[in-house]
Amino acid sequence: MKREVKALAHYRMNRAGETFEDGLLLLKQGSPNGAIGRFYYAAFHAARALLAVKGLDAPRHTGVIKLFSQHFVKTGAVSPETAKVLSRSFEKRLDSEYEDYVDFTKKDAEQVRDEVRQFIRACEKALADL
């Protein structure tokens, strides 16, 4: 793997970790909607770290989700169930930020947190295997 690509993937995984930590702080402060948004972005950065290794990226979130599925699920690097975390957390983030009268609970945010934590771990493993 080229040095620049490795550095970009590493940078994006670090962003995933930092953003996940931001989500934990928001959850602790009683902001489940905000936490869900941060947890989604943590998964998004982890997915983009893997895409960087393949020289891929997309200008839209849906494009990142599609490329991730095409290049990491279909090849067996990441399980389909793990990959679904990215799209589920994306949908919840959209609801939390753009829909009226959507108030996720602490329990909802904790579920997203746990799923995204596993997603990031799966991405770290896939990255190490590349």
pTM (whole model) above 0.85: yes
What tens digit of pLDDT does each residue of 53-69 get? 999 999 999 999 999 99
Cα 91 to Cα 36: distance, rounded to the nearest angstrom: 10
| Domains delineated in the chain | 3-129 (1.20.120.330)
What angle in degrees, to the nearest 10, is found between the helix axes of 61-68 and 32-53? 50
Task: Flag whether pLDDT at 129 surpasses 90.
Answer: no
What tens digit of pLDDT does each residue of 73-92 get? 999 999 999 999 999 999 99
Tokens 């829909």, residue?
Answer: 99
Cα 19 to Cα 37: distance, rounded to the nearest angstrom: 10
Residue 96 pLDDT: 95
